[in-house]
Amino acid sequence: MLSARNHKIRQLLLGLSLGIPVAFATAASGEAAQRDTDVLLAINEGEASLGILDPRTGRELAKVVEGAITGHEVAASADGRLAYVPIYGDSSVGEPGSDGQELVVIDIASRKVVNRLDFGHGVRPHCVLLNPHDGMLYVTTEVDHTVTVIDPGTLKIVDVIPTGQSESHMLALSHDGRFGYTSNVGPGTVSVLDIKARSLVTIIPVSRTTQRISISMDDKMVFTADQTKPRLAVIDTATNSVKTWIPLPSPGYGSTPTHDGRWLLVAMQKTSQVAVIDLKTLQVVRTIDVPPAPHEILISPTDDVAYVSCSRSGKIAAIRLSDWTVRLIDGGNRVDGLAWAQSHLFS
């Protein structure tokens, strides 16, 4: 395995501390090709705010206070005009604390909260995804052991899907929109959901504790990270069972595939690295050093840059996929959930 050199990160951090612009002069061609109007959305847990960032320059365009404690994840509307932020509460999964019960809607152009959905009781809403096939929002609602289906046009709850497990923290949707998969942290399982039927298909045992979830671009494999051992579970979606394990240098966390289906990137918090897995061989081929506590990974629409929220440092690492070089973007306090908003609003 190859490792990106530590001195690159130290140089970047030094530059940021001195106020040097975060963008490299030699920007990635994909970054240059991104529309000037696209924005990167980043949740700042420690500030209960949403950061709106220019992904090309790393400049913060705005910071919107959510008005509640606190969001962890974010999704953008199909037209890029709105951001949806579930308000989870003041603790982490499986820990005592408040149970959030709202979904906050933020207008990206006006940079303010414009609507709220009240779930009616504390549900710890966490992961939010927009399903492009039916236009609905799907939100994990941990306390109720469900995924809640919301019509973004009316901001009304239209259905719930049972997960059959507690701590259904994160959700992945198949690219054909037919199935959903939740990572159930404490139980160490994955729930398989039939999205059209709004029903639970099965529960897959994985480990004593698992974290995060992603799905391959061909919908054949689902990935979740064992928290008891440094390994990644590979679930065969045809059989809904663990097919194999991928050894990791340290326990994994968030993961996501590149759009071309070639690589799977896995955040590893303990070593402050991102592992790169070849999806043909299912082996780690490279590790990349990033700032402390990488959480979530988002691939740009151009498939040229991976954005990694590094919570403990308040940085977002932008990894250029053509050569694995890293540049750093300033995030907020405990930056976590990331999303991309493609719109015409910032011209």
Report whether pLDDT(5) > 50.
no
Report whether pLDDT(3) > 90.
no
Report whether pLDDT(13) > 70.
no
Inside any domain, residue 208:
yes
State the pairing for strand pair 2-3/283-289: parallel
Q: What is the pLDDT of residues 149-182, one digit of tens each?
A: 999 999 999 999 999 999 999 999 999 999 999 9
Nearest to 266 by CA among 294, 245, 242: 294
Report whether pLDDT(1) > 50.
no
Q: What is the pLDDT of residues 168-225, one digit of tens each?
A: 999 999 999 999 999 999 999 999 999 999 999 999 999 999 999 999 999 999 999 9
pTM for this predicted structure:
0.89
User: What is the percent of the chain where pLDDT is above 90?
Assistant: 88
Residues 224 and 265 in one domain: no
Residues 153 and 273 in one domain: no
- Give the per-residue pLDDT at 300: 97
Residues 56 and 90 in one domain: no
Rounded CA-CA distance 258/236 in Å is: 19
Rounded CA-CA distance 336/308 in Å is: 9
- Give the per-residue pLDDT at 36: 63
Inside any domain, residue 161:
yes
Inside any domain, residue 36:
no
| Host domain of residue 183 | 71-241
Inside any domain, residue 318:
yes
Could you say which of 241, 265, 300 is where a domain stops? 241
Half-sphere exposure of 36 (CA within 13 A, CB side): 2
CATH number at residue 173: 2.130.10.10
Report whether pLDDT(27) > 60.
no
Instruction: Find the mean pLDDT for residues 286-311.
Output: 98
Residues 206 and 327 in one domain: no
Nearest to 287 by CA among 343, 317, 340, 248: 248
Confidence label for 139 from pLDDT (cuts 50, 70 and 90): very high
Residues 110 and 215 in one domain: yes
Residues 266 and 159 in one domain: no
Rounded CA-CA distance 32/45 in Å is: 29
* C-beta atoms surrounding 154 within 10 Å: 9
Rounded CA-CA distance 139/126 in Å is: 7
Instruction: Find the mean pLDDT for residues 123-133.
Output: 98
Residues 197 and 283 in one domain: no
Count of domains forming the chain:
2
Inside any domain, residue 32:
no
What sign does the CA torsion over 327, 332, 336, 340 have? Answer: negative
Residues 309 and 192 in one domain: no
φ, ψ for residue 218, nearest 5 deg: -90, 5
Map tokens 């890293």 to a residue: 326
148 cis-preceded (ω within 30 degrees of 0): no
Residues 123 and 220 in one domain: yes
Report residue 83 CA to chain centroid gap: 14
Inside any domain, residue 162:
yes
Residues 257 and 207 in one domain: no
Could you say which of 241, 266, 300 is where a domain stops? 241
Inside any domain, residue 16:
yes
Map tokens 């700042």 to a residue: 44
Nearest to 133 by CA among 172, 171, 174: 174
Inside any domain, residue 130:
yes
Residues 161 and 109 in one domain: yes
Report whether pLDDT(309) > 60.
yes
Q: What is the pLDDT of residues 95-119, one digit of tens each?
A: 999 999 999 999 999 999 999 999 9
Q: What is the pLDDT of residues 213-269, one digit of tens each?
A: 999 999 999 999 999 999 999 999 999 999 999 999 999 999 999 999 999 999 999
Could you say which of 241, 265, 280 is where a domain stops? 241
Residues 235 and 302 in one domain: no
